[in-house]
Every structure is written in structure tokens, then in C-alpha cells.
Chain A
Amino acid sequence: MKVVVDMSKCQHYGQCCFEAEDVFQLDDDGKLVHAAEADESRRSDVESAADVCPMQAITIE
């Protein structure tokens, strides 16, 4: 599945990193970096990451 983050909304809270550390990370400057694709087996955690995003910036396609 495709993981899309609307970077115009993202405020780098990092809540998604707690839900799916392998897909979402913060770099040394605290900015969000994420995988563009995640394995189907990770769907539940990636959906959780999208659900808890304070800015609701994450979509799964």
C-alpha cells in the first residue's frame, strides 16, 4: 500500500512514529521522513498512525 503524508499539513508531532516506527521516523532535525510504500502486513499499524495524526495529514492508498 501507498503511504501519503500531506507535508503542507504535517507539523512533525511524531505521533505516527510511535505507531509504526519502521514506516515513519523523525530525522535529526525533528522533521518527518516516511516510507512511500509499506507492506500490506503493516496496514493495521499504519492505519493507527493515520488515525492518531494530530493534523490528520496521513492517507493510505
Chain B
Amino acid sequence: MEKTVRETIKEIVRTHLVEEKSMCFGQCLTAVGWVGGTLPELYEEDGMIEVPTSDVANGGFVVGAGLKGIRPIYVVRYQGFQWYNAPIIINYACKSKEMWGIPCPIFIRSIAMEGAIGPVAGSSHHSLYQRMPGSKIISPMTPNEYQYAYDEFMKDDDVYYISEHRRSYDNNKEMQNVIKENADFTLFPISVTRFDAEKARLILEEQGYRINIIHQLWIKPFEFKDEWKKALNDSKYGGMVLDDDYEEGVASSIAHTMMISANKKVHTMGLDHRTAGFHPDVDNLPPTPDAIVNRVKSIINGK
């Protein structure tokens, strides 16, 4: 049986602590569940470091460890908590190499989820890091992608923001781009929207539309590959970037970058611009397959 994303992460963390002799910082790491089963059962003497409920300071502790060259992993169990955890990482670790010639590599496991968790904890918040210099952002949703993200980090000396999503943890399949001749539309999904964008693509295909899907792994630096640009330019009605964050961030930024060099419009779809409540009636979730289908058809039909 193929390895899941969960098992891949767990093995990476184990290797990082046991073989690389590094540290993994975070709150409640050793609690029941071990962060969704993504951590090996290791303790402080092994490098699994429980930090207090001092989110801002904790970010600073990890920066200090990063400055000492141990390449720490930092687990932030809800991406919404980055509003507290990010300040010292963004302002010190991300700038240290440029400012003082001292790299501060940190592997930030920033975990997203949705559904009944209210106005702070839910969804992805990678746009927070995207607008500031000095970080790299990658959102792996498959086992091979996660391994690739870690391997890249170990070759590099930058801060890596790994935009994870709990819905990917059971996934054991790789995801392929689909690029067709004479396509009607191209989807560029990010993070967890990749799963539902793929479902939406299949629905639209059944309805007679020709739909490309180009999965977005790297958020920053974003490289608009020639093949993707051609696919967009060849798409009759342009394309759309989908995200698990608010549209006014990564999605809009990437769409802008695409449109600067392409000759087609690129739309965006992400969270509604409103606060998420806890009850299903007032929650704020990433685009569903039906919502994506409806939006694409609306664009194609000029409505």
C-alpha cells in the first residue's frame, strides 16, 4: 500500500530528529493524536520540544534555534495562529540573511483545516508570509510533494512555510496536471482546493466542457512556466486561481502575475470576504466542486 501524506510527514520528522539531530518545536505535540498522527512518539530528550502557550515568544524561540543552525521544524497546529506566531519569524528569520549575512532556516509546518472551528483557527493563511521578503512557500498535498518540499528545504538556507492541510493527510495518490488542446478553461488550484477542483473538472468534462487543471505547489517564489502560460493563452475563456485563503492575497497576486504576461483573464476564487462562524450556516469554507462548476460556467457563459 502506498504511503500517505501523514506517514510521509511522520517519517520526515523522525529522520530530522533522530538522524539530523535537530529539534521540532510546537504546542501540545505529545498530546493525544500527535498532531493528527504526523509526529513520531518522541520526547524532549529526542528533540521533540513542547513550548508554552506563548505563541509570539515561541516563534522567537524557533528563530533563535534557527540562528544556531539546527534547522528546526516548527509546528503551528492552526494556520490562523500564525497571526501570533509570525511576527518574529517574518521580521527576524526571514530578514537575517539579507540583513546580517546569517541564514536562519526554519521548516514551518503550518496546518490548515476547516469546519466548525470559528473565526481564527480555520483555513490557510499563507498570504501572511507571501507579502513579506525572505520566505519560501510551498503547499504539498501528496506524499511525493511533501518529500520534495523537505528535500528542497534541506538543500536551502531560507525559511520554508509549508502550507499543509489536514484533508491531505490520508491522501496516498499523486496529482497530475491535465492540459488539453482547444481547452475552454484552465484551473490553477492551490492547497486543499486541488481536490475539489479536480472533482469540478470531471463534472465540467461530463457536461461537455474542455477543462485544464494545473496544480500549484510553489506559492513563493511563483514561477509562471511557459507550458502553463501556453495552456492559459490557448484556453478560450481564460483561467482561475483557487485558494483556501482569502482571494485578496496569494490568489490575486498569482492571477496578476499570470495576466501580466498572458493574454487571457485570470479570475480568482477563495474564501468569501467575511468572518467564519462556528455553525455550518455561517461557516466560511473553501470553494466546493459545485461552486467551482457554477463559477466556471458563469464565466464561460459571460454572466
Q: Do A and B bind each other?
A: no
